[in-house]
Structure 1
Amino acid sequence: MKISSQSYLREVQNQIHSKEAKEFVSAELNHHIKEVKNEWIKKGLKEADAEEKAVGQMGSPVTLGQRLNKLHRPKVDWLTVILLVIILGLGFLPMLSIGNGIVDIGYYSTHKVIFVLLGGVVTIGIMLIDYRKLEKQGWLFYLIGILILLTLKFFLTRFILGLVLVGPLRIESLMAIPFFLLAWSSFFNDKRLKLWHLIILFFLPLYLIFTTISISTVYIYVVMVFVMFCWSQFNLKIILKTLGISISSFLIVSFILLQSAVPYQINRLLAFLNPEQYRDSEGYMILLLKEQLANAGWLGNPMTNEFIPAGHTNFVFVSLTSYFGWLFAIVLVLILSLFVARIVVIARKIHHSYGKLLLIGSVALYAVQLVTNIAMTLGFLPIISMSLPFISYGLMPILFNSFLIGIVLSVYRRKDLVSSGFMENEVHVK
């Protein structure tokens, strides 16, 4: 009995449950049938006979469909999900360690529950989005990021605030970074864009972020772009040359800015280098953090529970270490670091260049927060506004990192839905 290629494809699709997998398998199988069909036409068969021959070589559509359904169904990375649930749960521990810094624990707890639930919704929502459909929207995401920064710049020049409040939501420059992640993943994967194009695209957001008075956002934006650049389509020579020029330019600009810095900015730098000399001013917080960490011990001091400024946000690592001890702090850092290790492992399995860039950008954004927050509380870096991922209190930090994990889950979910010649492995041509 003769069967057309379309009828064969429909029968194969009937065995596949996932809509995304149906579309992917149909496109790949249709392409493969056409290739085999053309080979038979070249051997002298008529088009109808060649199509029948090509379809016949595929074997039973039911058997093939069932095998492809099992192989290419979307997957959930349950290890990442379990890590996320654990870390979100650990995010409630600062309620015990913040001392008398937050009077209304009920208010804090209620809002933390809401933030965590919203973070879960964002993670699931991003996971369900097919990241492959975002690749061609790079310019749109770039413009959205620019628009967010221009909006902030508009309000800042009129009200001189570090953020814009819309009800309980704080609109800040960090909100633009997820859009720039999507945009730069697309740009670095676009071979039509030259290096000088990317330089212009890099500096426009950088300038706008500077105008929003957010050094931390400037920092993570620069790290994200440069890490992704190192994994881009450019060869090693261009990457090393660009990095060398960038680092040299940064040092020169920093030296120039230092000459024109106002006294309090210079004092902050000197206090970081020698906090004892500035113990009554800029060095006070540095010395306080050192004292709390030094007195923490392995099991902590839950009975003292001293107040630490910003102990639930930027300095949550210090408050947790002081309360629970260094043993807990080490375990916490290890758990938070497992996210980095897991994303790296997933990235090595991804063959889709756009998906790999998304993972590289995501791990860079997550890791820079983790490393910087801990390093500045330990005194290795100057103090800036930087949250500890998922642990620090606040809506934006949780939503931001939930977005990153959602991207990771989205790429992993479709890691077997990327063309890699699978028909040659699944279908044996006679």
Structure 2
Amino acid sequence: MNKFISQYLSKVCGEIKYKGVTDDISEEIESHICEIADNYIETGMDEDEAIQKAITQMGDPIKIGKELNKTHRPKTEWSIIGLVGALVLIGGLTLITILSTESIQNQGHIPLNHSQILRTYLTYLPMGIGVCIGCYFLDYTKIEKYSLHIFGAAIGVWMSNSVINNPSGIIVLTMTLFIISFAGLAKRWGSGNIKDMLKLVGLAMLAIVLIFNTHPLSFGFVLLFGAGLLTVLTLAIMSKDFAGNKSRFIFSIYGGALLAKTFLLAGHLTSYRMSRFLAIIRPESYQNSSGWIISISRDAVSNAELIGRSDSLYYWQDGANKLILPDVHTDYIFTYIISTFGLLIGLVTLGIMVCVLTRMFMATRSIRHSYGRYLASAIVVLFTIQGLGNILMSVGLLPHLGFSLPLISYGGTSFVINMALIGVLLGIYRRKDLVMAGKKAC
């Protein structure tokens, strides 16, 4: 590098506090200086003289460095952090309310172990916060090259289900690892080359089949996971670096996904699965199976007070009120919130959730790095469908899908993973203004 350029860059970068961007900034400024110097050299000027004149034209290095320091530094999306904190607080207060209810017992179900649930929650709460902070400071660009390894790790986690015996936790963790790996693989292979695109589709189908065969309720997770994969593929196809026919690939990917899910569902369409969906239309005809819980959920919402507790979720037995609805601390916590605290609190909870998802979506729009944009967008889709699915399930408009309400429902594994994804998203946003592309040198 020319000594005059080196001295100039040293002064500029000396004003930049975040040293992680100085290499990219140096390459960009060097490129500009070289372009200007080339024009002077073409007029017959000596190279050193041309470079010095180009440097003078660039301006005061101290002033430029201070301006770049303002622009190129980590950004924190405080609104997302505040809203996420509100959801975690709502979840904690709701759980405490549930555990403080005397004789808490679901009809026909094992009584809740109050002390065990509280100990688990108090263990996973700081763990989730710690993981979120760790992922926030993690340089996500460093894991892109390990995408195929992460895909293999996801398969390993899926295979461990026979040992761990925690199907829901395994599905959530496996699905998360697959999404993270797929974002990197889409960046690597999503260029429009037929062979590379077939690799992506093949791995996506393998991941979907594995998840579908993990748990009886996994069809909902397949829909959730498939939406995340389609989001990543769509962004890759619509990017400026995609060399293939965008319309043809979009049609093929979405048409193939619809066909594959149709065959997958048809091949596993048991009478049990069919009854769960028919119960939405005629719950009274399935009162002894899945229609019972849908009826209870609908009654709880329709009979809820504007503010305060309704008795729709309780029945009287042995001199005490007991809960009718099972899993009020996990899958049906939103139903409990509405029935116990009132419709107004339910709407406030829903409003905060919508605000979180909106802010997350807005954050992804400002991310320029393709891998970061793929990963952040998939995270937003996972949260959106998970939250929407749980709420519709809680009010009796969907069958039981096994979705938890993100950051509110009780559950150690899902809470920690969701907090990790929040941390990853915030970490991607934190680096959104970094210079990512190299430039030509002299």
TM-score (norm 2): 0.83
Q: CA deviation at 1:12?
A: 1.7
- Specify the code of the residue in structure 2 equivalent to 1:179: L
Distance 1:177 1:26, change over 3 A: farther
Distance 1:182 1:288, change over 3 A: same
Deviates more, 1:213-222 or 1:11-20: 213-222
Aligned length: 407
Separation in 1, partners of 2:38, 2:114: 71
Deviations 1:7-37 (A, max 9, x none): 2222222211112233332232233333334
- Identify the residue that residue 208 of structure 2 maps to in structure 1: 206
- From 294, 307, 313, give the equivalent of 2:302: 294
- Identify the residue that residue 187 of structure 1 maps to in structure 2: 185
- Identify the residue that residue 330 of structure 2 maps to in structure 1: 313
Distance 1:345 1:416, change over 3 A: same
- Specify the code of the residue in structure 1 equivalent to 2:84: L
Distance 1:107 1:255, change over 3 A: closer
Distance 1:396 1:162, change over 3 A: closer
- Specify the code of the residue in structure 1 equivalent to 2:61: P
Distance 1:145 1:34, change over 3 A: farther
- Specify the code of the residue in structure 2 equivalent to 1:199: V
Contact kept in structure 2, 1:21 and 1:72, CA below 8 Å:
yes
Separation in 2, partners of 1:144, 1:42: 56
Identity %: 29
- Specify the code of the residue in structure 2 equivalent to 1:225: L
Q: CA deviation at 1:204?
A: 1.3
Report matched runs for 1:262-281 at 5 Å.
Answer: 263-281=271-289
- Specify the code of the residue in structure 1 equivalent to 2:289: S
- Identify the residue that residue 348 of structure 2 maps to in structure 1: 331
Separation in 2, partners of 1:116, 1:323: 23
Deviations 1:123-172 (A, max 9, x none): 221121223333333223222222222333xx26xx9x454xxxxxx961
- Identify the residue that residue 227 of structure 1 maps to in structure 2: 231
Contact kept in structure 1, 2:357 and 2:380, CA below 8 Å:
yes
TM-score (norm 1): 0.85
Separation in 1, partners of 2:416, 2:39: 52
SS in 1 for 2:10: helix
Deviates more, 1:369-378 or 1:268-277: 268-277
Q: CA deviation at 1:319?
A: 1.1
Unaligned runs of 5+ in 2: 106-110, 239-245, 315-320
Unaligned runs of 5+ in 1: 164-169, 423-430
- From 156, 164, 180, give the equivalent of 1:147: 156
Separation in 1, partners of 2:37, 2:60: 18
Deviations 1:263-299 (A, max 9, x none): 4444434434322122133322222222222322211
Contact kept in structure 1, 2:21 and 2:435, CA below 8 Å:
no
Q: CA deviation at 1:205?
A: 1.3
Question: What's the RMSD between the two structures over aligned residues?
Answer: 2.8
Q: CA deviation at 1:413?
A: 1.1
Aligned pair 1:386/2:403, yes or no? yes
Aligned pair 1:251/2:262, yes or no? yes
SS in 1 for 2:92: coil
Report matched runs for 1:39-118 at 5 Å.
Answer: 39-94=39-94, 95-97=96-98, 99=101, 100-101=104-105, 105=114, 107-118=116-127
- Specify the code of the residue in structure 1 equivalent to 2:425: V
Distance 1:208 1:257, change over 3 A: closer
Separation in 1, partners of 2:136, 2:247: 33
Distance 1:144 1:57, change over 3 A: farther
Report matched runs for 1:340-419 at 5 Å.
Answer: 340-419=357-436
Separation in 2, partners of 1:82, 1:109: 24
Separation in 2, partners of 1:393, 1:418: 40
- From 175, 186, 198, give the equivalent of 1:196: 198
- Specify the code of the residue in structure 2 equivalent to 1:69: N
Separation in 2, partners of 1:62, 1:223: 48
SS in 1 for 2:187: coil
Deviations 1:21-70 (A, max 9, x none): 33332232233333334444444344433333333333222222111111
Separation in 1, partners of 2:398, 2:72: 46
Separation in 2, partners of 1:183, 1:90: 32
Contact kept in structure 2, 1:352 and 1:418, CA below 8 Å:
no
Distance 1:248 1:215, change over 3 A: closer
